[in-house]
Structure formats: C-alpha cells, structure tokens
C-alpha cells in the first residue's frame, strides 16, 4: 500500500512538472465553487436588502468568474509561451470581481447598520450573514489564486528540480549478446 501512494505522489509531481499552472487553476476553481455554490444566499440577500446595484454585482461576479477562468485557460496554452494579453485580461476581471464583492459586502453592512429600520440578523435572515462571510472567503480565495499565478514562474522551477526518476533493478547487469550468428 505504501508503494501505491509513493507511485501516486510521483505521478502527480510528474504531471505538475509538465503543467505547473494546474495549481493556480485549482485555486480559481475553488474560488468559483465558493461563490457559485452559495448563489442562493446571494440572491436571497439581494431580494431582502434591495440595495443599489446588488443584483448587478452578483451578475458581474458570476460572469467575470467564468470569463476569468476561460482567460486563464487561454493564457496558459499547452506547451507554448504564456499569452500575456489574456493573462492581463484575467487579472483585470479578477480585480472587477473583488471590487463587486467588496461593494456587495458594503451594501450588506449599510443595511445592517443603517439608522433607519436596520435589517436584523436573526434565525430567519441568517443567510445574510452567511452571504457576507462567503464573500470574504471568496475574496480571500481570489487573492490566493492571484498570488499563486504571480509566483508560478518561481515554484514551477522548484517543482522541476524534484527527482521523479524511477530506479530500475538490474540495469547495466546485462550479459553480452552474441550477434555473430555462430552457434
């Protein structure tokens, strides 16, 4: 069983040597899943608070999340140089997502803390607090993804230095092969 996990780890490292951009791609996927799996909380919060541009922020975040993932895939084509314009476009979209999440979080805080009829977080409106916390987690996941993308040249070189060769037994102990045809 130990050899199985050792071989599995070796295969994963070999795969990462070939495509080190898999690591930040997984971070982007996690950020997307954090947001998309909590869309119910976002839509319920938008319906309850009805703040200015909250629906637009939710729509923009979902749209730019998908488009930034597509830009990421186009920025790192298989075995080719990095497509810099696509990479810059992806960073711009991630910046817009962070702005939209921050704006949406601000609308939530304004609704909770306003002087005139503030929205009270109780058992019936717990989804508002969940949406706020999810937005903070989404922003954090996006920042982690941006850092991983920015540091990709550094840790891809470190990953390539890892020895993944397999030791083959009896290599070099072969007997002479007679090809003269004499019996």
Q: Where are the domains of the chain?
A: 20-160
| Residue 78 CB neighbours (<10 A) | 8
pLDDT, mean of residues 45-54: 88
Return d(Cα 24, Cα 72) in angstroms, integer. Answer: 9
Rg of the chain over Cα atoms, rounded to whole angstroms, equals 25
| Residue 180 CB neighbours (<10 A) | 5
| Closest to 25 in 3D by CA, of 62, 57, 71 | 71
pLDDT (tens digit per residue) in 87-146: 999 999 999 999 999 999 999 999 888 888 888 888 888 999 999 999 999 999 999 999
pLDDT of residue 52: 86
Return d(Cα 64, Cα 90) in angstroms, integer. Answer: 9
Instruction: Return all residues near 39 (Cβ < 8 A) that are at least 6 apart.
Output: 58, 62
Least confident segment among 51-55, 60-64, 72-76, 164-168: 164-168
């Amino acid at each position: 069983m130990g050899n199985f996990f050792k071989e599995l780890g070796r295969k994963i490292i070999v795969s990462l040597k070939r495509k080190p951009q898999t690591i930040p791609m997984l971070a982007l996927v996690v950020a997307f899943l954090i947001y998309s799996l909590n869309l119910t909380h976002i839509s319920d919060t938008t319906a309850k608070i009805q703040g200015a541009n909250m629906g637009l922020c939710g729509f923009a975040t979902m749209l730019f999340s998908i488009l930034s993932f597509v830009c990421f895939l186009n920025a790192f084509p298989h075995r080719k140089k990095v497509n810099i314009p696509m990479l810059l476009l992806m960073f711009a979209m991630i910046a817009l997502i962070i702005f939209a999440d921050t704006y949406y979080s601000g609308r939530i805080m304004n609704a909770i803390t306003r002087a005139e009829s503030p929205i009270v977080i109780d058992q019936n409106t717990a989804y508002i607090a969940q949406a706020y916390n999810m937005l903070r987690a989404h922003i954090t996941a996006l920042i982690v993804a941006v850092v991983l993308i920015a540091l990709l040249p550094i840790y891809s070189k470190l990953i390539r230095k890892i020895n993944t060769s397999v030791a083959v037994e009896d290599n070099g102990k072969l007997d002479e092969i007679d090809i003269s045809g004499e019996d």
